[in-house]
């Protein structure tokens, strides 16, 4: 950390994408609609572009019982659980429309339930949802089937139901164990509760348990976060996702309840990130990249070692080049060389399905340049390096010539100690990992042309 100068902190205390996709979701256009998405599904079914592409499913459950002030997810705050019954009926219609296009029996090797709070659904609701999915898709043996869990909404008995339904991976939203921080973000959950649930999950045989943490929340200090890091290391989940809080109150209304003066400085945030890296690697975790850690035996760490790591809309993934069908309000998908997003409001989502239409409201058909730059950015984000020769052979380019302006910026970053520019490629340095989003931004053609970045979270 002695090499991270105030100048570097100032330089990278700017907004930037997380690159769960490239181009990023803010580049989606309304000109891309249901017809474009149907064409991509047809091409997948016919095998013209994505014959061997594995399939992943994401299901968005938008409901939450209470509001967390930091949250930027698409959610609906309600205590009326009967609203989930209506939602499931419409999800069934959306699944049927996909089956009509893709054909029944498509094999799925990854399923993720996110939100919102997926465990807002009752046990019967979860059973109904899984039955719907299994009527239309085949869940492959040994696949990754995960669900996000709010510790305040489950018991050991509920975890047993999740195991019975075939889920083998859990992600617990913890964020911070500090009581003052929990008060500031309106999410009170004692550490003892999380420890008990993780112990129950292990006893039930879940293959992988993830814990989500956020640094940069109000009232956090490097010292208070050290205590949370120590508790998480003792908890020893298989995976840890460590996210930087994105304070964008102009975009996300709940964040206006956060007192901006209580937010830590950029210097304090980079200190929390540095201490987190040290704490988790000292505890035996592999630093997978940017915001993920995993025990060496976990599938994510194995994928990193084997060069199979990828980033999708849920973060780091073990499946490269995976088609993703997004189901539910606001869900984002990727099929072939397209991205698509569903309607963001329940009313609009329901209206599309009442008309017998897939609820696609925007998306993007990627150009050749988009796909090349995606390969470069994902290589930086996942492997921490870009090798010129494989890209030159795959895309029939001269890398240094095609990316002439970008290479000039890479040389500048090399002078700052963030990357090493070699004859055969570019490698992110240990210090560069703190700012890897900034390194990747150099290759973002849209971002370089559009300096209005306020819509993104800050890099540190």
Q: Please tell me the predicted confidence (pLDDT) of residue 48.
A: 60
Q: Considering its fold, how many domains does the chain have in total? A: 2
Distance (Å) of CA 161 to CA 41, 62, 94, 202: 33, 21, 25, 14
334 beta partners: 324, 339
Q: Please tell me the predicted confidence (pLDDT) of residue 14.
A: 74
* Helix (H) and strand (E) counts in the chain: 17, 19
43 and 6 part of one domain: no
At 453, the pLDDT band (50, 70, 90 cuts) reads: low
Residue 404 region by backbone torsions, left for phi larger than 0, else alpha for psi between -120 and 50, else beta: alpha
Q: Is residue 237 part of a domain?
A: yes
**pLDDT tens for residues 92-119?**
999 999 999 988 889 999 999 999 999 9
218 beta partners: none
**Biggest alpha carbon distance in the chain?**
61
Task: Determine the Cα–Cα distance for residues 115 and 149; give it in Å rounded to an integer.
Answer: 10
Last residue of a domain, one of 265, 300, 327: 327
Q: Please tell me the predicted confidence (pLDDT) of residue 455.
A: 58
- CATH code, domain carrying 385: 1.10.10.920
263 and 382 part of one domain: no
204 and 138 part of one domain: yes
Q: How many CB atoms lie within 10 A of CB 377?
A: 25
346 beta partners: none
Provide the whole-model pTM.
0.91
Residue 223: pLDDT over 90: yes
Average pLDDT over residues 230-245: 95
Q: Which two tokens stand for residue 395?
A: 């895309």
Q: Is residue 332 part of a domain?
A: no
Task: Determine the Cα–Cα distance for residues 286 and 294; give it in Å rounded to an integer.
Answer: 5
**pLDDT tens for residues 69-99?**
998 888 999 999 999 999 999 999 999 999 9
Which of 194-200's residues contact partners 24+ apart within 8 Å by CB, and which partners? 194/151, 194/235, 195/235, 196/156, 197/149, 197/151, 197/154, 197/155, 197/156, 197/159, 197/172, 198/172, 198/235, 198/237, 200/156, 200/159
Average pLDDT over residues 222-230: 97
Q: Is residue 376 part of a domain?
A: yes
E strands, 166-272, in order: 169-175, 208-215, 239-244
255 and 288 part of one domain: yes
Last residue of a domain, one of 327, 360, 377: 327
Task: Determine the Cα–Cα distance for residues 270 and 268; give it in Å rounded to an integer.
Answer: 6
Report the chain's mean pLDDT, rounded to a whole number: 91
**pLDDT tens for residues 332-383?**
999 999 999 999 999 999 999 999 999 999 999 999 999 999 999 999 998 8
End-to-end CA distance of the chain: 14
Helix H or strand E segment including 428 = strand 425-428
Q: What is the DSSP letter of 51?
A: T
Average pLDDT over residues 422-433: 92
Backbone angles phi, psi at 180, to 5 degrees: -70, -40
- CATH code, domain carrying 235: 3.80.30.20
What DSSP string describes 59-110? EEE-EESS--TT--S--EE-S-THHHHHHHHHHHHHHHHHHHHH-TTEEEEE
Q: Which two tokens stand for residue 280?
A: 């988790």
Last residue of a domain, one of 327, 356, 389: 327
118 and 87 part of one domain: yes
**pLDDT tens for residues 253-280?**
999 999 999 999 988 988 898 889 889 9
Task: Determine the Cα–Cα distance for residues 132 and 209; give it in Å rounded to an integer.
Answer: 25
Instruction: Give the least confident one: 23-32, 70-79, 194-203, 233-242.
Output: 70-79
Residue with tokens 């073990």, as numbered in its chain: 318
At 238, the pLDDT band (50, 70, 90 cuts) reads: very high
186 and 121 part of one domain: yes
Question: Is the separation of the CB atoms in 74 and 344 below 8 Å?
Answer: yes
13 and 60 part of one domain: no
Q: Please tell me the predicted confidence (pLDDT) of residue 308.
A: 83
Task: Determine the Cα–Cα distance for residues 116 and 83; give it in Å rounded to an integer.
Answer: 14
Q: Which two tokens stand for residue 115?
A: 């939100």
Domain enclosing residue 388, as ranges: 1-19+368-460
Q: Please report the sign of the dihedral spanned by the C-alpha atoms of residue 429, residue 435, residue 437, residue 442.
A: negative
163 and 260 part of one domain: yes
Task: Determine the Cα–Cα distance for residues 240 and 234; give it in Å rounded to an integer.
Answer: 12
Task: Determine the Cα–Cα distance for residues 419 and 433; give it in Å rounded to an integer.
Answer: 9
293 and 200 part of one domain: yes
Average pLDDT over residues 320-336: 91
């Amino acid at each position: 950390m002695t090499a991270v100068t105030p100048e570097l902190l100032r330089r990278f205390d700017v907004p930037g994408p997380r690159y769960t996709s490239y181009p990023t979701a803010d580049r989606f256009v309304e000109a891309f609609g249901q017809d474009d998405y149907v064409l991509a599904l047809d091409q997948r079914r016919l095998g013209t572009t994505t014959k061997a592409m594995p399939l992943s499913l994401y299901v968005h459950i938008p409901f939450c019982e209470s509001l967390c002030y930091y949250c930027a997810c698409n959610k609906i705050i309600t205590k009326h659980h009967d609203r989930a019954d209506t939602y499931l009926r419409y999800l069934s219609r959306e699944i049927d429309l996909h089956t009509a296009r893709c054909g029944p029996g498509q094999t799925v090797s990854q399923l993720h339930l996110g939100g919102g709070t997926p465990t807002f659904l009752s046990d019967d609701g979860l059973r109904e949802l899984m039955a719907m999915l299994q009527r239309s898709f085949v869940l492959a043996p040994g696949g990754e089937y995960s669900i996000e869990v709010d510790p305040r909404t489950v018991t050991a008995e509920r975890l047993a139901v999740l195991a019975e339904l075939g889920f083998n991976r859990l992600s617990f939203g913890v964020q911070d164990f500090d009581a003052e921080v929990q008060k500031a973000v309106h999410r009170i959950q004692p550490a003892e509760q999380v420890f008990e649930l993780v112990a129950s999950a292990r006893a039930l045989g879940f293959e992988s348990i993830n814990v989500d943490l956020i640094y940069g929340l109000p009232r956090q200090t490097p010292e208070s976060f050290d205590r949370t890091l120590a508790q998480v290391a003792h908890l020893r989940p298989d995976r840890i996702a460590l996210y930087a809080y994105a304070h964008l109150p102009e975009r996300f209304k709940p964040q206006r309840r956060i007192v901006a003066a209580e937010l830590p400085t950029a210097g304090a945030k980079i200190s929390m990130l540095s201490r987190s890296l040290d704490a988790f690697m000292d505890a035996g975790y592999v630093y997978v990249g940017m915001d993920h850690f995993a025990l060496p035996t976990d599938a994510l760490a194995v994928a990193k070692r084997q060069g199979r790591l990828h980033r999708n809309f849920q973060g780091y993934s073990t499946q490269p080049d995976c088609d993703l069908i997004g189901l539910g309000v606001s869900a984002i998908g990727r099929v072939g060389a397209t991205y698509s997003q569903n309607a963001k409001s329940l009313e609009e989502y329901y209206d599309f399905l009442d008309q017998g239409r897939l609820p696609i409201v925007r998306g993007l058909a990627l150009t050749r340049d988009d796909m090349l730059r995606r390969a470069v950015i994902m290589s930086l984000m996942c492997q921490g390096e870009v090798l010129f020769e494989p890209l030159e052979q795959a895309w029939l380019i001269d890398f240094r010539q095609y990316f002439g302006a970008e290479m000039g910026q890479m040389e500048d970053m090399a002078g700052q100690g963030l990357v090493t520019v070699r004859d055969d490629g570019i490698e992110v340095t240990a210090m560069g990992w703190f700012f890897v989003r900034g390194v990747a931004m150099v290759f973002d053609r849209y971002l370089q042309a559009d300096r209005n970045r306020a819509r993104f979270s800050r890099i540190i």
